[in-house]
Amino acid sequence: MTIRPAAGVSFEAHIPVLIVGAGAAGHVAALACRDAGIDCAMLERDPQPQGSTALSSGLVPAAGTAMQRAKNLADTPALFAADIQRKAKGEADPLLVGRLSETIGATVDWLAARHAIPFELVEGFVYPGHSALRMHGTPRRTGAELMDCLAAAAAAAGAEVLTNAHVVALYADGDGRVHGVGLVRPDGTQERLGCDALVLACNGFGGNAEMVAQFLPEMRDALYFGHAGNRGDAVAWGRALGTATRHLGAYQGHGSVADPHGILISWAVMMEGGIQVNRDGNRFSNEHHGYSEQSVAVLQQPGRIAFNVYDDRCHAAALQFEEYRQAMALGAVRNFADAQALADAFGLPHENLARAIAQTENASPDPFGRDFAGKPPLAPPYWGVRVTGALFHTQGGLVVDDDARVCRANGAKLPNLFAAGGAACGVSGPAVWGYLSGNGLLSAIGLGRIAGDAAARSVSG
C-alpha cells in the first residue's frame, strides 16, 4: 500500500468521489453522494461486495428514530452519547460521539424511508451498556441481508461499484491532496482513476495477522471472525501521508462463538439471564460487562473455551436471530432435562455447575458483581453451547473530525480525504472493554453518511 506522487500522472477516467471499499460504510457514503447529485464509484477488491458487514448481525444502534417513536420509547441522542462514553470510560472523542449520536437516528430513518432499507426495532431485550431499546436490524437480523438491501439501494440510486478492483496506491501531492488511486485487477492489469475527493471505507486491520500481533497481542492466536480482505490499508496510507491514528489497540471481540461450529450465539441469551462457565463448571466473570471483553475472559479459560448455560426464556429471546437458528440446525445448541445431563454431556463437574446456576437466584452478592435481579433464576430444562472467544473487527484507525475528514496529528485536515467505518478511529476508547454493542455499524453507517455528505459538498464547491 503506497502513496505515489501525483505530479504528471494521467488517469484513465475521472470520477468526482471515489470510495475505497464497498461494505456498509462505502455503500452509505455512496448513497449520500448520490442524494447530493454527485457521481461516485465504490472500488471493491472482492468479486462481490460483502465485507465484514455481510458477516455481521447487521444491528445498528440509533436514538430518536421513527421506529422508537412509534413504540413510545423514550430515548435521546444525549442518553446514547452518555452510554457510549460510559462504556469507553470517557476516552472516546466527544465531538465524534456527539455528532454520531445526534445524526444516526436521522440516518437510519433516511435509509428506511428514502432507500427502502427494511429496518425494524429489535425488541425483547436490551443490549449490554445501552439504556434503551435502540438496535435496528433488517427482518432476518443478518448483515448479509443488510448488505443485499444496501446493494439494491445503491444500484437504484445510480452508485457504481467496480468489483475485482484492489486499490493498492493513492496518488497525492505534497499537501496531501489525493488526485486519484491505482488499482490492480485479478489478472494483474493496473488502472488509474482520478478523483476530486476520496473516502476510505476499507475497514480496519483484523485480516492482517502482523498488525493484530503488534496492536492486539492478546488476540494474536484467536479466531478472526471478520472479513479477511480488511488488511489495514487505510492505516498504512494514512501513516504514509502523515495523518494521525488513534486507539489502535481497540477492537470488538466476542465471547460467544460456537466451538467448533464457528457460528455466533447471540448475547441475548446472557442478557436474559444466561451464564458462562468454564471446563471446571465455574463462572469466571460478570457476563453483563459486554460480549466484547468477554472474548478475552473466555480465551483465558482452560482450553480457551467456555459453555453458555441458559433456559427456555433466554432461548426464546435468541430465536429471532437467523444465526442462532442455524446454530441449532448444526447441533451446536443442545437441550438438557437438568443440570446433571448438561454436566455429563460437556464433561463438567456437576457440583460446580449446580453452584454456578444457583448464583442466578441472586440470594447473595454475586462474586463477579453481576446483578441478577429483574430476571427469573435459571430453571430446567437447560440449553448449553460450547463457545470460544474471537476477534470480530478493529476499532482504532485514522483520526477524523466530526465531518469525517482525515486529520493530521496537529489537527489540520487533509484537503480531500475522508474516512468512515473501520477505517476511522471509532468511539470505543483504547481497548476491548470500550466497545458498546453496535459501535461497529454506528461508525460504518453513521460516519458513512457524514463522509458521503461532506465529500459531496467538497466537490460541489
Q: Rule CB under 6 A: which residues touch ligand FAD?
A: 20-26, 43-46, 49-53, 55-59, 143, 166-167, 201-203, 225-227, 229-230, 233, 252, 264, 392-393, 421-422, 438, 440-442, 444
The neighbour count for residue 217, using CB atoms within 10 Å, is: 10
Where does residue 354 rank: exposed (0-12), middle (13-18), buried (19+ CB within 10 A)?
middle
Least Cβ distance, residue 346 to ligand FAD (angstroms): 24
395 touches 250 (CB < 8 A): yes
Tracing cell 444465526 back to the chain, one arrives at 323
Q: 95: part of which helix (H) or strand (E)?
A: helix 94-115
Cross-strand partners of 397: 246
- Of the pair 17, 343, the CB lying nearest ligand FAD is at 17
The minimum distance between CB 441 and ligand FAD, in angstroms, equals 3
State the nearest-atom distance from the C-beta of 410 to ligand FAD, in Å.
Answer: 26
Rounded Cα distance, 16 and 22, in Å: 17
Q: How far is the CB of 89 from ligand FAD (least distance, A)?
A: 20
Give the nearer residue to ligand FAD in terms of CB position, either 108 or 306.
108
Nearer to ligand FAD, 82 or 184 (CB): 184
Q: Quote the least distance from Cβ 48 to ligand FAD, whole Å.
A: 9
Minimum distance from CB of 265 to ligand FAD (Å)? 11
Alpha-carbon distance 196 to 415, whole Å? Answer: 10
Query: Smallest distance, Å, CB 183 to ligand FAD?
Result: 7
206, 251 contact by CB (below 8 A) = yes
Considering the complex, state which of residue 93 and residue 323 has its C-beta at the smaller distance from ligand FAD. 323
Cβ closer to ligand FAD: 146 or 348?
146
CB atoms within 10 A of CB 70: 9
Residue number, 59 or 356, with CB nearest to ligand FAD: 59
Q: How many CB atoms lie within 10 A of CB 125?
A: 21
Distance CA(216)–CA(293), nearest Å, equals 13
For ligand FAD, give the closer residue by CB, 441 or 459.
441
Q: Kindly state the helix (H) or strand (E) to which residue 77 belongs, with its residue range.
A: helix 77-87
If the CB atoms of residues 127 and 284 are measured against ligand FAD, the closer one turns out to be: 127
**Cβ at position 3, least distance to ligand FAD in Å:** 13
Tell me if residue 12 falls in helix, strand or coil.
coil
CB of 59 to ligand FAD, least distance (A): 4
Please, which residue, 96 or 378, has the CB nearer to ligand FAD? 96
CA separation for the pair 203, 460 (Å, rounded): 26
Which of residues 230 and 458 has its CB atom nearest to ligand FAD in the complex? 230
Residue type, 227: H
**Alpha-carbon dihedral of residues 161, 163, 167, 168, nearest 10 degrees?**
-170
For residues 362 and 383, give the distance between their C-alpha atoms in angstroms, rounded to a whole number.
20
C-alpha cell belonging to residue 329? 440446525
Which of 2, 6, 24, 15 shows the shortest CA–CA distance to 449? 24
Query: Which of 349, 357, 352 has the alpha carbon at shortest distance from 383?
Result: 357
**Minimum distance from CB of 276 to ligand FAD (Å)?**
18
